[in-house]
């Protein structure tokens, strides 16, 4: 596959850019693979990539019922951070954040990573105590964060009103190396690298059944025929419980729609990510100038991928008090993504009751920021067949044993 570089761009420019090939192949499925990954979103593609890069396992198929990156990977608000409270969470999210730093170079594909900084506003005294506690925990974990006062917040984000009557800003948890990346580019970069290693990305191929013999997985039935495998990874976010049912086991997750919207594009006015968990709202400005705004989840289980007006109204009404200027903006579009929530707001990376079947789910609304770390850890789990340092605490059996990894405070609304 042709390597991207300034010299390649210049060379192809002389040929009117007619020499570029496909970024990834579109093959027909083979009869058998060493590993099948179900789900060609960021987590599934990252898992396949690190299976090949770290363990030399390249006879891999990534199966997607829709199109590559068409699920939550293409529907999130691109936030990257690692300022979580519990040690296992901080470890895997910091691994992901550090991998994002060099991901463009590793994949030879510009994922537009922007370590612009991230603020989590404290707008109640309870949040002040919670975020100060998180700073102390992060310092012990080796994750660089700091507590800053309202005056510094105003200095970093001049458009913010820190004296709101309902939601005054009392300070913030600040992670200077947090930021954003281009969600589509992350999926495309991993897909291109996987295809270059000889892996098959099979789109428009829905799994309709999971085959097993003597308690071990042997393959999957799909709309493109039966495919055999030695190991199976289920990495399908909000649809994980559907596939788990095919495999004959249940998972402690529920699926909900998460709301988001963007405004019309405007001139640059905010160069950090701001999260306001008291009001269930968070905002950043995209490279195109749109204000990217996220809200909360629906209060009931569903699989819808569209927004709802009551969430948009609730989120924007609260954010307008903190950012008065956005009251004059028009909404450009809104949408929903299907998130998979666990009871402790932490993910599941685990072996399952079905032999040689592994699951990666439960990231809730924190999925995009964890993609590289999740893929790295899941690849280790699948290659070795046993949990490693990043996954040993995230077993699906922790709920039966009462070993919760509670991130409800550090995650705010689980973002």
**pLDDT tens readout for residues 273-328:** 999 988 888 999 999 999 999 887 877 888 887 777 777 888 888 899 999 999 99
**pLDDT tens readout for residues 97-116:** 999 999 999 999 999 999 99
Confidence class of residue 34 from pLDDT cuts 50, 70 and 90?
very high
74-92: average pLDDT: 94
**Torsion angle of C-alpha atoms 298, 304, 310, 314, degrees rounded to 10:** 50
What gap in Å lies between CA 391 and CA 377, rounded to an integer? 6
What gap in Å lies between CA 184 and CA 154, rounded to an integer? 32
- Which residues touch 44 (CB under 8 Å, ≥6 apart)? 37, 38, 62, 64, 233, 235, 236, 360
pLDDT at 47 over 80: yes
350-367: average pLDDT: 95
pLDDT at 354 over 90: yes
Cβ contact 308:314 at 8 Å: no
399-410: average pLDDT: 83
What gap in Å lies between CA 286 and CA 262, rounded to an integer? 9
Cβ contact 37:49 at 8 Å: no
pLDDT at 129 over 70: yes
**What pLDDT was estimated at residue 409?**
58
- Complete domains list, the chain, with CATH: 29-82+85-108+183-253+344-401 (3.50.50.60), 118-177+255-342 (3.30.9.10)
Q: What pTM value is reported for the model?
A: 0.95
pLDDT at 220 over 80: yes
């Amino acid at each position: 596959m042709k390597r991207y570089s300034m010299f390649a761009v210049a060379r192809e420019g002389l040929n009117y850019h007619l020499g570029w090939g496909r970024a990834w192949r579109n093959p027909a499925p083979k009869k058998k693979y060493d590993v099948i990954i179900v789900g060609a979103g960021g987590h599934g593609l990252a898992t396949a990539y690190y299976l090949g890069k770290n363990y030399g396992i390249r006879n891999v198929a990534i199966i997607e019922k829709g199109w590559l990156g068409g699920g939550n990977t293409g529907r999130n608000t691109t936030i990257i951070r690692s300022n979580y409270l519990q040690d296992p969470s901080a470890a895997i999210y910091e691994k992901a954040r550090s991998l994002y730093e060099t991901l463009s170079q590793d994949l030879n594909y510009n994922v537009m990573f922007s370590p612009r900084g991230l603020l989590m506003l404290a707008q109640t005294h309870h949040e002040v105590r919670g975020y100060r506690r998180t700073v102390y925990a992060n310092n012990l974990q080796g994750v660089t964060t700091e507590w800053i006062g309202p005056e510094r917040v105003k200095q970093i984000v001049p458009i913010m009103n820190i004296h709101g009557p309902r939601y005054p800003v009392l300070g913030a948890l600040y992670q200077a190396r947090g930021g954003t990346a281009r969600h589509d580019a992350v999926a495309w970069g991993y897909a291109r690298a996987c295809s270059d290693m000889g892996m098959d990305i099979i789109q428009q191929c829905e799994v309709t059944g999971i085959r097993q013999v003597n308690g071990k997985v042997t393959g999957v039935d799909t709309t493109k025929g039966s495919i055999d495998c030695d190991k199976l990874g289920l990495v399908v976010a909000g649809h994980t419980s559907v596939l788990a049912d095919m495999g004959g086991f249940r998972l402690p997750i529920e699926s909900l729609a998460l709301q988001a919207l963007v405004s019309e594009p405007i001139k640059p006015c905010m160069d950090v990510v701001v999260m306001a968990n008291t009001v269930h709202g968070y905002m950043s400005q995209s490279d195109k100038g749109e204000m990217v705004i996220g809200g909360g989840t629906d209060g009931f289980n569903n699989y819808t991928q569209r927004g709802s007006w009551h969430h948009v109204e609730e989120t924007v009404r609260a954010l307008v008090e903190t950012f008065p200027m956005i009251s004059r903006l028009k909404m450009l579009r809104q949408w929903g993504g299907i998130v998979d929530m666990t009871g402790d707001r932490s993910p599941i990376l685990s072996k399952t009751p079905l032999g040689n079947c592994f699951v990666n789910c439960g990231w809730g609304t924190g999925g995009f920021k964890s993609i590289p770390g999740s893929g790295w850890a899941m690849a280790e789990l699948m290659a070795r067949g046993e949990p490693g340092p990043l996954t040993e605490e995230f077993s699906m059996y922790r709920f039966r044993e009462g070993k919760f990894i509670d991130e409800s405070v550090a995650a705010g609304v689980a973002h």
